[in-house]
A and B are shown apart, each in its own frame.
Chain A
């Protein structure tokens, strides 16, 4: 059968806008493709960061029911009072459907022995006492890596992520222009046609999720907007007081004022949380923050949770700390701040119910596959035109190897991070950091492997490695913790069971990919290939 002309190949009629857009799409996509793939995959997984964090702290017991938050807040406040008496500021995140512990951080004041004067801990909602669990960053590592990477200053990382997101926007727009038959080809997938199939898959993955991908890229830029374009803010906001006001408008924390120096105990935190619950519902309370604790000038803010409202703009009730009198209600911010809050909220998707969270996950996963098929297609398209397929030029080999390390290698590294969580000894100094070092060591090893092995073998071996590590993770979990899959299933612990089952499902996906790659025979395009017949035959025989 005659090969159909590809949409993105040069026309005889010279370079039209579509061709320029196609070039732009190809090269912008390739240049940032590897970074975007890593951002997409870690960001996708980060939609379940709280669940992953629970899985990575198996010492915190399974929470069958969310305990009464008001009572929990009081218990932990009491514990904090004895732990850090007279703290200038503490803040606790109350347990919810996705968090089985109270996470609190506090400032210890100037008399603290450690320089930074900050402390943090997880508290058992039932007893109010601190729980000692293995040191780990949990799922938050993936979230942070997703927008600021690691081993570089957060500032540089965010600039890099922002640049990648800008290129993503460029790639989306140029991709839509290049793809001239969006509606006609909407449901088109031609199986087993080499480059054509890759292009169809790439198109389907891109077009189906287009509104979502556009939203996620744009809102992603908005989350870091103040950093990228600070000049407006700098021009409008000059004094420290104004800056404090801006911070207060955008954040759920209250700023500590000057303490009075007069000691006074904190009134009932439980009552304050109950008042907030009357206003926002039983599950509507997210966080309790207190400043100048133990002083007559103490204040307490109870802020609203994120579930059920698409905005990160804070809503809070502020109380006088010593009497528990309601001082102010803040339930709205200015229009500009609210727009930011909504766009921010859309990106994070924390408001979601479980179904919407899965939708976010699946569509983001499709986005990951879109970037993956895109960067692989660069080599698929060029392989058929190589003068000598046995010895591709350096640029081709480099792209090919980087593709392997960034697609298959990253999957191995991310799973290795979870393995490190189960295998590293509890008392290891800097344990949480070593989990992350483990992630990067494995990723570097994957890159070395991809550079040293023949490309096709490297793909297959790495895909099988990822599949094996994922499939064995539930086994490792059963061996190293008291919460194996069968027990979590029996107890209805869907957080642990969910992570284990998800690993098995992903393992199946990687097995399928490995088998397909192993069976794949690169196609040559006789009409275009400049290679002599002998070389083509040799390649097909390989």
Chain B
């Protein structure tokens, strides 16, 4: 269960980063978000990833923590992309 928190942080982090990009804003909201919103999304996204890394390193130390971080980030980014694709397909 200790894997859940870092994974959730990665997921939220990548989702925020995705929504901070122009292309995804047009796909998801059909309009550009205000610049301030995009910036805070971007900051929140990176913060989520850093917190996930911190949680893993605090739990497992650097070597195991970094390996697990690379796994969690890959999976989370993949799921965010799949969600975006799925959403795009449903709208189409």
Q: A residues near B, CB below 8 A? A: 184, 186-189, 191, 204, 208-209, 211-212, 215, 310, 342, 346, 349, 351, 355-356, 359-360, 362-363, 366
Kindly state the separation between the CA atoms of A186 and B81 in the bound complex, as whole angstroms: 9
Q: Kindly state whether residue B92 has any CB partner on chain A within 8 Å.
A: yes
Type the 1/0 row for B54-81, where 1 means its CB is closer than 8 Å to any CB of A.
Answer: 0000000001100110111111011011
Please pick, from A191, A351, A359, the residue contacting B71 in the complex, using a CB distance under 8 A: A359
Q: Shortest Cβ distance from A192 into chain B, in angstroms?
A: 9
Q: Shortest Cβ distance from A384 into chain B, in angstroms?
A: 23
Chain B residues near A355: list those with CB within 8 A. Answer: 3
Please pick, from B74, B84, B85, the residue contacting A208 in the complex, using a CB distance under 8 A: B74
Please pick, from B21, B23, B64, B88, the residue contacting A310 in the complex, using a CB distance under 8 A: B64
Chain A residues near B63: list those with CB within 8 A. Answer: 310, 342, 346
The answer to whether A359 and B81 touch across the interface, beta carbons within 8 angstroms, is: no
Q: Kindly state whether residue B9 has any CB partner on chain A within 8 Å.
A: no
Chain A residues near B17: list those with CB within 8 A. Answer: 186-187
Please pick, from B21, B74, B78, the residue contacting A184 in the complex, using a CB distance under 8 A: B21
Chain A residues near B68: list those with CB within 8 A. Answer: 356, 359
Please pick, from B3, B71, B78, B88, the residue contacting A204 in the complex, using a CB distance under 8 A: B78
The answer to whether A211 and B23 touch across the interface, beta carbons within 8 angstroms, is: no
Kindly state the separation between the CA atoms of A186 and B80 in the bound complex, as whole angstroms: 11
The answer to whether A366 and B92 touch across the interface, beta carbons within 8 angstroms, is: no
Q: Which residue of B lies closest to A342 (CB)?
A: B63
The answer to whether B74 and A209 touch across the interface, beta carbons within 8 angstroms, is: yes
Please pick, from B73, B78, B85, B88, the residue contacting A366 in the complex, using a CB distance under 8 A: B78
Q: Kindly state whether residue B89 has any CB partner on chain A within 8 Å.
A: yes
The answer to whether A187 and B71 touch across the interface, beta carbons within 8 angstroms, is: no
Please pick, from A186, A191, A208, A349, the residue contacting B88 in the complex, using a CB distance under 8 A: A191
Q: Kindly state whether residue B41 has any CB partner on chain A within 8 Å.
A: no
Q: Other than A208-B74, A362-B75, give 12 A-B pairs with Cβ distance below 8 A.
A: A184-B21, A184-B23, A186-B18, A186-B21, A186-B77, A187-B23, A204-B78, A211-B73, A355-B3, A356-B3, A356-B71, A359-B68
Please pick, from A184, A189, A346, the residue contacting B84 in the complex, using a CB distance under 8 A: A189
Q: Which residue of B lies closest to A308 (CB)?
A: B64
Q: Shortest Cβ distance from B72 into chain A, in angstroms?
A: 7
The answer to whether A191 and B21 touch across the interface, beta carbons within 8 angstroms, is: no
Question: Known: A187-B21, A215-B70, A362-B75. Contact between A351 and B64, CB under 8 A?
Answer: yes
Q: B residues near A, CB below 8 A? A: 3, 14, 17-18, 21, 23-24, 63-64, 67-68, 70-75, 77-78, 80-81, 84-85, 88-89, 92
Can you report 24 A-B residue pairs in the complex whose CB atoms are below 8 A from each other?
A184-B21, A187-B17, A187-B18, A189-B81, A204-B78, A208-B73, A208-B78, A209-B70, A211-B70, A212-B70, A215-B67, A310-B63, A310-B64, A346-B67, A356-B67, A356-B68, A356-B71, A359-B68, A359-B71, A359-B72, A359-B74, A359-B75, A360-B71, A362-B74
Q: Shortest Cβ distance from B19 into chain A, in angstroms?
A: 9
Q: Shortest Cβ distance from A160 into chain B, in angstroms?
A: 27
Q: Which residue of A lies closest to B7 (CB)?
A: A355
Kindly state the separation between the CA atoms of A494 and B14 in the bound complex, as whole angstroms: 32
Chain A residues near B84: list those with CB within 8 A. Answer: 187, 189
Q: Shortest Cβ distance from B90 into chain A, in angstroms?
A: 11
The answer to whether A187 and B24 touch across the interface, beta carbons within 8 angstroms, is: yes
Q: Which residue of B lies closest to A209 (CB)?
A: B74
Please pick, from A186, A310, A351, A363, the residue contacting B75 in the complex, using a CB distance under 8 A: A363
Q: Shortest Cβ distance from B70 into chain A, in angstroms?
A: 4
Please pick, from B14, B21, B70, the residue contacting A363 in the complex, using a CB distance under 8 A: B70
Q: Shortest Cβ distance from B2 into chain A, in angstroms?
A: 9
Q: Which residue of A lies closest to B69 (CB)?
A: A211
The answer to whether B77 and A208 touch across the interface, beta carbons within 8 angstroms, is: yes
Q: Shortest Cβ distance from B32 into chain A, in angstroms?
A: 15
The answer to whether B81 and A204 touch across the interface, beta carbons within 8 angstroms, is: yes
Chain B residues near A191: list those with CB within 8 A. Answer: 85, 88-89, 92
Please pick, from A188, A359, A360, the residue contacting B23 in the complex, using a CB distance under 8 A: A188
Q: Shortest Cβ distance from B42 into chain A, in angstroms?
A: 11
Chain A residues near B23: list those with CB within 8 A. Answer: 184, 187-188
Q: Shortest Cβ distance from A106 into chain B, in angstroms?
A: 34
The answer to whether A189 and B64 touch across the interface, beta carbons within 8 angstroms, is: no
Nearest 3 Cβ contacts at the A-B interface: A359-B71, A211-B70, A187-B18
The answer to whether A310 and B67 touch across the interface, beta carbons within 8 angstroms, is: yes
Kindly state the separation between the CA atoms of A204 and B72 in the bound complex, as whole angstroms: 15
Chain A residues near B74: list those with CB within 8 A. Answer: 208-209, 211-212, 359, 362-363, 366
Kindly state the separation between the CA atoms of A349 and B64 in the bound complex, as whole angstroms: 10
Q: Shortest Cβ distance from A352 into chain B, in angstroms?
A: 8
Kindly state the separation between the CA atoms of A186 and B14 in the bound complex, as whole angstroms: 10
| Most chain A CB neighbours (cut-off 10 Å) among B14, B74, B80, B88 | B74
Q: Which residue of A lies closest to B18 (CB)?
A: A187
Q: Shortest Cβ distance from B89 into chain A, in angstroms?
A: 6
Kindly state the separation between the CA atoms of A366 and B92 in the bound complex, as whole angstroms: 26
Q: Which residue of B lies closest to A184 (CB)?
A: B21
Q: Shortest Cβ distance from A85 into chain B, in angstroms?
A: 43
Kindly state the separation between the CA atoms of A32 and B80 in the bound complex, as whole angstroms: 31
Q: Shortest Cβ distance from B66 into chain A, in angstroms?
A: 8
Kindly state the separation between the CA atoms of A191 and B91 in the bound complex, as whole angstroms: 12
Kindly state the separation between the CA atoms of A208 and B89 in the bound complex, as whole angstroms: 21
